[in-house]
Structure 1
Amino acid sequence: MDAQMLGGALQGFECDKDMLIDILTQRSNAQRQMIAEAYQSMYGRNLVGDLKEQLSSHFKDVMVGLMYPPPLYDAHELWHAMKGAGTDENCLIEILASRTSGEIFQLREAYCLQYSSNLQEDIYSETSGHFRDTLMNLVQGTREEGYENPAMAAQDAMVLWEACQQRTGEHKTLLQMILCNKSYPQLWLVFQEFKTISGQDLVDAINDCYDGYFQELIVAIVRCVQDKASYFAYKLYNAIHDFGFHNKTVIRILIARSEIDLLTIRKRYKERYGKSLFHDIRNFASGHYKKALLALCAGDMEDY
């Protein structure tokens, strides 16, 4: 039925964008994959192809983005962050700092299948220095799972503290090795030990000692360990307020997190910034693009 409604919406005299929003933003990703199959067998046409043909600009980015399975959506974003002139380092940081080892394995596979290219090799050729080393470590997806060792945590905290004092290449390597490979519960302990030793939060210490994309990436990893939903709330707030509405970032986070932790992200956003995410999107976006983002964001009554 959804496929039939979409067919009518896309193949009529004028594209019914409201119908597209009503259906595609209110279904799970798994349901959207089934709708795409039904659409293909019903019309002998590719739904993503038709969406690309009929829509334009940021509205198209939202509707088409919703149709990708999550690993392929991440792969698509990474590919576009690196191809062409210049590299979108912020996209690389946001995705690779926040995904689990399992998610990284799946997006690497999707990247290879979709683009006949190796993600590690592409990152290696598009980035440099300790920023590159850290990304290469993350993309291997070798983070330990769930294991805690308090004695080791004190030792690692000392290494991090020294890395913030010394700032040599060797210390940068040790810093990123700990942050990319230790489990989240272990890193929690490390961060607490760090605070005891230095009297400082690790994010503040890193901001004081390092700069550039290496610093941004390391801080992103630490923020994701501390509270992933707060990290995304912070990224959304910056994208909406500091960059004059950075559409790509807003779209990417809303789509990628919609079935994971978007409710928690919305909660953190409201707690931290006083206004709801719904309110801010409504004030900064317009047209069907705004409608699609708000439908994804699904505001509470108090947000209206």
Structure 2
Amino acid sequence: MFGGQYQVQGTIFPNANCNPIMDAQMIGGALQGFGCDKDVLIDILTQRSSAQRIMIAEAYGSLYSRDLANDLRENLDGHFKEVIVGLVYSPPGYDAHELWHAMKGAGTDENCLIDILATRTTSDIFQLKEAYLMQYGCSLDQDLYSETSGHFRDCLINLAQAVREEGYTDPGLAAQDAMVLWEACQRRTGEHKNLMQMILCNKSYQQLWMVFQEFQNVSGQDIAATIEECYDGYFQQLLLAIVSCVRDKPSYFAYRLYSAIHDFGFHNKTVIRTLIARSEIDLMTIRQKYKERYGKSLYHDIKHYASGHYEKALLAICAGDIQDY
């Protein structure tokens, strides 16, 4: 059975009690005067779906003739600001925001580029590219070209073309593709890297699931272990991310969260981005995979490493209706 066919569940759902105008008024009140009532912001923005938050932002603009995201930026600070401002973007707008900031300024956050472009659907990528152009007035493809290099760049640009054949399968072609991948791992030339990239970036997850099984049959090796042995750097990491997502996307994000929390001294940007981006898709499933794989709950680890209203906001996004200590 294709590895992607499992029940997935988010933690944030549309709130039946949402009243955009009333919510906008409460947020406006929370931002008035000295300080800011952060609890009100958390209680509203983490308990509404993205579509509802967009309606709240529109109502806020109508009521106050100001932009909600800008007002939040002006009144908040630190990682708490990143969480709350992130919540008022549309999902494509938030992905575009993260990609832009990953490439602008000093250095490039390659892991952010991988986390987004290797995991989004064809439809997601079309939408985030439109949002990127609208928000920043430039092409995502052009920025990827100028800010990355080599086969890593080629692979990212291929993913950004959004040409993955979602749902399409050809069992007869799976063994042939597996042989191409095996030869690419053996020869490692530029041409063979391109062939590997084209298969991993363009074939559907269902097709790749079959290809990986055929790869095991023809080589006697696991595709992920072979990629790890044959390639290195961000090109290797990107290929491994695609393989991992084909097999079990929530487990990929569980791994990324665990690494961000434990391997990098709580890498806030990765934690924030993952929780917000997956909250309405599969965050509850990610939490389940996290606990199965690492023994402690994601909820426990956030409580251990974060604090204050930042911790409260992350936990509210993460919790859904289940607080798993």
1:188-236 alpha-carbon deviations (Å, 9 max, x no partner): 0001111112222211110011100100001011111111111100100
* 1:198 and 2:216 matched: no
Q: TM-score, normalised by structure 2?
A: 0.92
* 1:141 and 2:139 matched: no
Q: Equivalences for 1:17-166 in 2 at 5 Å?
A: 17-166=38-187
CA distance in 1, matches of 2:67, 2:134: 19
User: Helix, strand or coil: the match of 2:31?
Assistant: helix
Q: Is the 8 A contact 1:278 1:299 kept in 2?
A: no
Cα distance change, pair 300–40 in 1 and its aligned pair in 2 (3 A): closer
Equivalent in 307, 312, 321 of residue 286 of structure 1: 307
> How far does residue 301 in structure 1 lie from its aligned partner after superposition?
5.4
Q: Equivalences for 1:238-277 in 2 at 5 Å?
A: 238-277=259-298
> How far does residue 299 in structure 1 lie from its aligned partner after superposition?
6.3
Q: Is the 8 A contact 2:50 2:90 kept in 1?
A: yes
Cα distance change, pair 202–300 in 1 and its aligned pair in 2 (3 A): farther
Q: Equivalences for 1:164-243 in 2 at 5 Å?
A: 164-243=185-264
Normalized per residue, the structure richer in helix is 1
Q: Is the 8 A contact 1:158 1:197 kept in 2?
A: yes
* 1:303 and 2:303 matched: no
> How far does residue 40 in structure 1 lie from its aligned partner after superposition?
1.5
> How far does residue 38 in structure 1 lie from its aligned partner after superposition?
1.3
Q: Is the 8 A contact 2:284 2:320 kept in 1?
A: no
Q: Is the 8 A contact 1:188 1:226 kept in 2?
A: yes
RMSD of aligned residue pairs (Cα, Å): 1.1
> How far does residue 170 in structure 1 lie from its aligned partner after superposition?
1.1
> How far does residue 151 in structure 1 lie from its aligned partner after superposition?
1.5
> How far does residue 73 in structure 1 lie from its aligned partner after superposition?
0.4
Cα distance change, pair 96–301 in 1 and its aligned pair in 2 (3 A): closer
> How far does residue 13 in structure 1 lie from its aligned partner after superposition?
2.9
CA distance in 2, matches of 1:31, 1:217: 34
CA distance in 1, matches of 2:84, 2:306: 16
> How far does residue 18 in structure 1 lie from its aligned partner after superposition?
0.8
Q: TM-score, normalised by structure 1?
A: 0.98
> How far does residue 145 in structure 1 lie from its aligned partner after superposition?
2.0
Report which stretch shifted further, 78-87 or 62-71. 78-87
Report the AA paired with residue 193 of structure 2. K
1:282-302 alpha-carbon deviations (Å, 9 max, x no partner): 101111000000000006656
Q: Is the 8 A contact 2:165 2:203 kept in 1?
A: yes
Report the AA paired with residue 106 of structure 2. A
**Structure 2 residue runs without a partner (length 5+):** 1-21
Report the AA paired with residue 56 of structure 1. D
Whose relative contact order is higher, 1 or 2, with alpha carbons under 8 Å and at least 6 apart?
2
Report the AA paired with residue 105 of structure 1. F
Report the AA paired with residue 158 of structure 1. M
Q: Is the 8 A contact 2:244 2:252 kept in 1?
A: yes
Cα distance change, pair 302–82 in 1 and its aligned pair in 2 (3 A): closer
CA distance in 2, matches of 1:158, 1:301: 46
CA distance in 2, matches of 1:74, 1:128: 21
The alignment of Structure 1 onto Structure 2 pairs a total of residues equal to: 304
> How far does residue 5 in structure 1 lie from its aligned partner after superposition?
1.1
Report the AA paired with residue 134 of structure 2. L
Question: 4+ residue runs of structure 1 moved beyond 6 angstroms?
Answer: none
CA distance in 1, matches of 2:155, 2:61: 42
Q: Is the 8 A contact 1:18 1:288 kept in 2?
A: yes
Report the AA paired with residue 192 of structure 1. Q
1:9-44 alpha-carbon deviations (Å, 9 max, x no partner): 111333111111011000001110111111122222
> How far does residue 164 in structure 1 lie from its aligned partner after superposition?
1.3
Q: Is the 8 A contact 1:87 1:126 kept in 2?
A: yes
**Structure 1 residue runs without a partner (length 5+):** none
